[in-house]
Structures are given as C-alpha cells and as structure tokens.
Structure 1
Amino acid sequence: MTTMTAPSPMDALGDLGTWDASEASEAKIYAGEGVNLSSRWRSHRARRATDPRYRKDLLEAAHLYERVLRGDRYAGLTFQEAMSTSDFSALFGDILDRQILARYQSMPVQWPAFAKRGRVRDFRQVKRFTLDGAESTLAPVRQLTEYPAASLTDGVYAYQVGKYGRRVALSWEDLINDDLDAFASIPDRLGNAARRTEERFATALYASSTGPNSTFFSSGNKNLLASGGSSALSITSLQAAYTLLASQVDADGAPIYIESAVLVVPPALKVTANNILNATEIRAASGGGSGTGNDQLTVANWMRNDLQLVVNPWLPIVTTSGTMGSTAWYLFANPAVGRPAMEIGFLVGHEVPELWMRAPNAVRVGGGAAAPEDGDFDTDSVEWKLRLVLGGTLMDPKSAVASPGQ
C-alpha cells in the first residue's frame, strides 16, 4: 500500500533550500542580494550585511518562519507575537525579499541569448551610438603618395526605461486564519511576474500583433524571407535565412562575421526545430541534382553546432492576428559579436525586482508604532508592492532575419 504525502509548504522555498535546524545556513539565506523593506534599515544596508548580530537574528527568524510553514502551531503563535516588534518585521522583510529574488533568478530567462543587456543611469532617454567604416581591406599606397582617407558612418538608437509593478493586498484576517501560509506564495508569484514582464517586453520589440516587426524586418533591410510555402520552417528555409544573415555587409561593403546564431520559434514549431537541429545527417542535392536521384550529398548536421534554439511562448500571445503567432520564426546573430539586434536596459542600482511594504498609518493607544502586518487603520489591509524598471530598443537590422512561416 502506497502512502501519499501531502505537499510540504516548504516547497515554495525550494529555490533557497530547506531551512531547518540542521541545514539552515547564512550561505542559503544570503544567496543573491536582497533589498530591505524598511527605510530604517535600508540606509545601513552595507554595514548591516556584515553585522554578526544581524546575521544571527536573521537566521533565527528564518528558522522560526520555516517552522510556521511546516504547520507548527506553537511557532505560529510565537511568530505572530514577534511580528509586533519593528526589528522582527524588518528581518522578515529581508527573508521575503530574498525569496522573491531567488525565485526571479531561478526562472528561465531567454532574451539574453539574442539581446544585449544594458544599464542606464536615470529615466531620461539614452542613446546608443554605432560606427561603421574604416574596416575594409587596405588599398595599396604608391611611393610618395598620400594614404587614402576612409569615411565613417555613425548611427544612433535611443530608448528610456520605465517602471513596471504590482500591488498585492491581504486582509489581516487572511493572515491569521490561513496560518500565514499566504506568505508562502507571494515570492513565487511576484518573482514570476517580474521575469515574465521582461520576456514579454523583449518579445514585443521584434514581434507585433501582425507578425515580425515590419519596420525592422523588411526587404529593404534584406532580413525578411518572402511569404510563401518556402518560408515555413524547414531545413531549406533555415539554410536560406542563415545565408541571408551571413550575406549582410557593413558600410564599406565588407562582410559581417557571424560565428553563431539563435533560432527563436513559437511552441508550435518546437518539434520541427528540434528535429532539424538534432538530425544527425543532412541530405542535399549537389551539382544540380533533382534531390531524388543519385546526385546527392550526405553531410553531418553542421547546424546543431552553429545554432542555439529558444522556444518563446510569448510569440503567439504577442502576435494575435491570423496564425502567424504559430508560424513566424526568427534568427538572431549572437549579441556578443558587437552588432546586437536589440538591447534591454535596466536602471543602475535597481536591476532586480524590489519589494516594498506599506507602512502602517496607525499607532497603538498604549504607545508605540504598529507593525506593518497589523494592517492600515481603516481596513486592516496588509499590502506589498513590487517594482521593476526596464526599457529597450531594436538596434541593428543586419543582425537578425525573420520569416512569416506562411
């Protein structure tokens, strides 16, 4: 007979490990950088991080919280009593914040595979400059003649970052009646929301509601496969896209070296893309062969080493017109080559999600400030806020190719 075990509340803390008396450690709690919720503590953040007393108190708070999530009623009562002190509230804020950051960091992130990560100083528009020229082959110089001058062509791309966020409100009754289990899902939900925001934002730069961004991907930019049966994802169309990407030239007419590329497809093309990239052989006609006769070449699948596959589930959500959300696919040059197709930027000092908690607007009759978990004066509502700051722009169209796939 098999005994079924109910899921542990600690599953929500899987990314940080299990915090019990035998395994909890400072290394686990301090994994990643937290953002304190208390302004009183935030100003002393650097000094506090190395304070032995603070680290000891935080570890003890983590032990207590772990026992609460395991269903220890006595620990729950102790926890509720401890929450009435401002110091413990600050410690719990750090625990919750580190959980969110851990969840955010553990979520799959795909856009860095084909976009450059940038950092900006403020909310004003930033510019990214490019320079082309002076890289063509050198011309011969005759005796006693001037060296030929080279011309330079500059370009500029601009964008600015903006705020994204969400509030989560729970009632004081919810916290009491639910034995504080409501806390356990908040880090997962907010961490997931922050990472998903990044992925959708990046997708909406190069894909529109009607398919590939028509300003960026066009015949004029020589980075769009023509519509028709030949644009559907296949070994033939992928070779055509790769050839188109490798055929781009700079301002001097010199080739742009593309050592590797990233294939981005919607979930509907995952099987097709994997079949292509994981095939062991490619059979191709040579010398004008018909493809069915004896004039054939059988080669190792070189694409599996040159292409990285990214399956983007946001493509059919962003591209909603017709069926192109399930048929369009994209090829990006590795952003490390110096000509990124896109840049996603973050505000310096605020490059990860930040969690905030509403300060109480009440004081106890007997004196002393109320804890944030006591809720606001009018409704006993307990609220958290998550803030994420990011922006981005498309850059060099010579570093990407799109296909409508139909």
Structure 2
Amino acid sequence: MKFKQLLEGFNAAQSVMHERFSFGGQPVRSMARRIQSPQYVQSLAEAATFVADVFDGRQPLWMLKEAMSTSDFPLLFGDTIDRLMVAKWKAIEPTWRDYAKISTCRDFRPVKRFRCTRGAALLHGPMSPGESYKGDAVDESYYEYSVGKYGRRRDILWEALVNDDLGALRDAPDDLAWQAVNTEAYEFTRLWAANTTLYAINHAVAGVNYSNLGNAAFDADALAAAIGEMGEYPAEDGESPIMNDPLYIVVGTRTMQMRVEQVLNSLIVAYTGSSDRDNLPVANLIPAQLRNTMQVRLNPWIRLFDTDYQTAWYIFSDPAAGYAVEFSFLQGHELPELFMKNSNQVQMGGGAVSPMEGDFDTDAVGYKLRHCCGGSHTNAVGGWRFTWRSTGTV
C-alpha cells in the first residue's frame, strides 16, 4: 500500500484523536488544534507524497534526510508512518473478535465486572385481590482482570540509511502491525483454549451438574449432541431456559476447518463407521436454520494452549446473547501507538540534529510500538453456558 493510496480514503482531521503518533516524547494529541487545521492536512498529504516518491525510488534518500532536519517534517514523517502502520493493522481482520466481548478499561488497575442474576424467570400470579407482591431474590457475582502494556522496539541502523537501504523503513509498519495483531490473538486465545475452569463436566446449577466438555470427534452427530446439550443449560434458578444458540465453531487447523465446512454445507451425511447406517446417506441432523447461520472460525493460536489442537473443536454463542470471554483495551489507547526516538546527540558547531542521525551510542534510528490489552473468561458469572469444547479424541 502506497502512502498516497492510504491518504485517498483517510480523513486525517477526524481520526487523529484515535490514531496518534508521538515525536520527541510529545503526543500529537496534545497538538489537536494544529492537526485538525486544513494547513496540517495539506502538509501531511504533501509529506506522504514525498515519502512515497522516496520509497518508490523517484526521489533520492538524501532528500529525505535533509527534510528530516527541518522543524516540521519529522512530525509529518512520523504521522505518515504511524497512519500506514494503523492501516495495516486494520487491514488484518482478526476473526476472534466475532466470538468475544470487546470492551475498554479506564486504567491498568484491576477491574471487576459484576453480573446480577435476573431472579425469578416469571412474574408471580395470578394474584388474588389484596395479595401482597412477592419479593425477588437477586444474587451478585463478578470476575476480575486488568489490561497490560505490550510493546516492541525497532532500531534501524544508520549504516542502512546511508546505504540507501529503504527495506528497513518500508517493512517497519508491516512488521509492527503484524506484531500487534499477533499479540492480541495470543493474549485472547490463552484466556479460554483448553481452560479447565471454563470447560468442565461439573458446572453446578441448583444442585445439578452440567457439562460443556466432551471428547467426540467432529461429525454431524457430535455437533448435534453438543448443540442439544447446550440447549439444556438453565438459568441460575435451574429451571428457566436461556438463549445461547451456537453461532461460531472454532478450530485450530485448516484440516478441521474443512471438515466443519463439509458438515455445515451438506444436506445429507453418509455414515461409514456405524453398523446400522453403513454407507447410507441420511438427512443432516443439524437443522437448516442453524446450519445456515453457524460459521467456522480458524484460530491457529489454539495449538499453543491445547495439546489436542489437531482434533479439538469449540462452539461459541453470539456475544450479543452471552459471552464466554471478554477482551479489553485501554481507554483512549485502543489502537497500537507508534513512537520515534529523538536524536540525543549534538553536533559540534551547533545546529539541529535530524532524528535520522540516530542514537548517540549506536547511531540507530529507534521506533517503539505500544499496545495495551487484556481480558478474562467469564466462568465466574456463568459464561460457561455460552461455549462448548470437545477434544475430538474419540
């Protein structure tokens, strides 16, 4: 993606409050009035065009170094790199967000998410004339988590810039965006994959144990059984039904993804391992209404946490109905943030030193990416009702 192409569909004035770049330790957000001006937007477009020409070889690298010694261009250059990094980050669509509750936290302190039970499922009645209203007992539960700070530093050697090696500058936005996306997926997946608290056979409700853990290999029968068992989960009173229709089937390998797709897209299923239905095609047990709405999601990070990742499969309900996992970002810092280190050296004889001259000790030009996120599974408030896991080993 070229810088000029990026700017064509990008409203710099409206998005700058969310997509910030800090230069010399001063966040651009503190300069919002200047950035929102038409003059800054025009200067940013001109800077992006110039940088694109340098990257494409139409302008020599020494002109970029010379421009970096001016007062305004370093900020414009940094803003351009930051916007490209954020655009790359947005272009990578993480499917795990489909089956997660996404939220924000005010700060790094532990946050408690409370949930109050709804009490009785029905109103008391019909009531006799003069009869008193019955009270409703409501219980409270919560889970707790905090967001953490993650980051990475990228140093570009001064020698590489002298040698006109623009590969380091070109790759920086891609690499940093890729690292931010991977960090989110890793931290989210570790919250629930093969988690022995969230997935268990003894979730107690009103004295009765319910299970959201199985071991059946994936096929139409196993999926139907899992969906049926999820449909039996009651509310806190042990009697009232809940709306937890499955929407997403999550797997860790391409092989499992194709297997699930075959079952969901098949009108009939041919059985070859059952003595009473050998090679006899029968109608798919999964109702068409469910099959047409259920979707497969591949999460390759499962392999890092689930030893049965090659056969395991998970079911998640629509987070709008109920969620098993919440993932949060630091409020005001929801997007990854890119920083550039100011040069800490002074040239004898005075004069401004370009940030492209690098660090005093190593002559390296330093970039830093910061991203803040974290989360928790919601088993403590009954979130197990909205997910299912099978090891797929039987």
Normalised TM-score (structure 1): 0.85
**Counterpart among 29, 49, 56 of residue 70 in structure 1:** 56
Q: 1:75-224 counterparts in 2 under 5 A?
A: 75-140=60-125, 141-207=127-193, 212-221=194-203, 222-224=210-212
| Alpha-carbon contact 1:259-1:306 (below 8 Å) kept | no
Q: Distance in 2 between matches of 1:293 and 1:187?
A: 54
- CA shift, 1:87, in A, is 1.3
Match of 1:226 among 204, 214, 219: 214
- Deviation of the 1:180 alpha carbon: 2.5
CA contact (8 A) 2:116 2:141 kept: yes
Determine whether 1:329 maps to 2:313.
Answer: yes
Shift of 1:190: 0.4
Structure 1: which amino acid aligns with 2:243? Y
For the residue of structure 2 that corresponds to 1:362, the secondary structure is coil
> For the Cα contact (< 8 Å) 1:110–1:199, is it kept in 2?
no
Question: SS state of the match for residue 327, structure 1?
Answer: coil
For residues 74 and 9 of structure 2, what CA distance do their matches in structure 1 show? 19
Q: Does 1:389 align with 2:372?
A: yes
**What SS does the corresponding residue of 2:346 show, helix, strand or coil?**
coil
The alignment partner of 1:254 has SS state of coil
Q: CA deviation at 1:366?
A: 2.8
Q: Which amino acid aligns with 2:302?
A: L
Shift in CA distance, 111/135, structure 1 to aligned 2, threshold 3 Å: farther
Alpha-carbon distance change, 331 to 265 in structure 1, aligned in 2, over 3 angstroms: same
What secondary structure does 1:86 align onto?
coil
* 1:137 match: secondary structure: coil
CA distance in 2, matches of 1:279, 1:49: 55
Where 2:309 maps in the other structure, the secondary structure is helix
2:327 counterpart residue number: 344
Q: CA deviation at 1:233?
A: 0.8
Counterpart pick for 1:60 among 46, 49, 67: 46
1:53 partner letter: Q
Alpha-carbon offset, residue 282 of structure 1:
5.4
Indicate which of 274, 286, 302 corresponds to 2:261: 274
> C-alpha distance in 1, partners of 2:88/2:282?
51
Q: From 294, 298, 318, give the equivalent of 1:311.
A: 298
1:346-370 per-position Cα deviation (integer Å, ceiling 9, x unaligned): 1101111011112211122232332
- Partner letter of residue 147 of structure 1? Y
What is the match of residue 7 of structure 1? none
Shift of 1:292: 6.1
Partner of 1:373: 356
**What letter corresponds to residue 197 of structure 2 in structure 1?**
T
The alpha-carbon deviation at position 240 of structure 1 amounts to: 1.2
1:232-278 Cα distance to aligned partner (Å, 9 max, x none):
11111111111122211111221111244211011130110110111
Q: Distance in 2 between matches of 1:175 and 1:57?
A: 24
Q: Mean Cα displacement is larger for which, 297-306 or 187-196? A: 297-306
Distance (Å, rounded) in 1 between the aligned partners of 2:4 and 2:134: 64
How many residues align structurally? 373
Q: Is the 8 A contact 1:41 1:90 kept in 2?
A: no
Structure 2 distance, partners of 1:328, 1:368, is: 63
Alpha-carbon distance, 1:166 to partner: 0.6
Q: Distance in 2 between matches of 1:183 and 1:89?
A: 14
Aligned to 1:27: 10
Q: RMSD between aligned alpha carbons?
A: 2.5
- Classify the secondary structure of the residue corresponding to 1:344: strand
Q: 2:231 aligns with which of 246, 251, 256?
A: 246
Identity across matched positions, percent: 33
The SS at the match of 2:63 is helix
User: Cα deviation per residue 1:332-390 (whole Å; 9 max; x = unaligned)?
Assistant: 111111x3111001110111101111221112223233222110112201111111100
Contact in 2 for aligned 1:223/1:400 (Cα 8 Å): no
Q: What is the rounded CA distance, in whole Å, between the counterparts of 1:134 and 1:283 in structure 2?
A: 46
Cα separation, partners in 2 of 1:401 and 1:192, compared to 1, 3 Å: same
SS in 1 for 2:351: coil
**1:147–1:290 CA distance, 2 compared to 1 (3 A):** farther
Cα deviations by residue, 1:212-231 (Å, 9 ceiling, x for unpaired): 2111100012343433xxx1
Match of 1:265 among 239, 247, 251: 251
Contact 1:332-1:401 within 8 A present in 2 as well = yes
- 1:136/1:383 Cα in 2 relative to 1: closer, same or farther (>3 Å)? same
The aligned counterpart of 1:6 is none
Deviations 1:115-152 (A, max 9, x none): 10111101100010111133412332233222222211
Query: Runs of 5+ in structure 1 lacking a partner?
Result: 1-12
Q: In the superposition, relative to structure 1, how do residues 294 and 161 fare at CA in structure 2: closer, same or farther (>3 Å)? A: closer
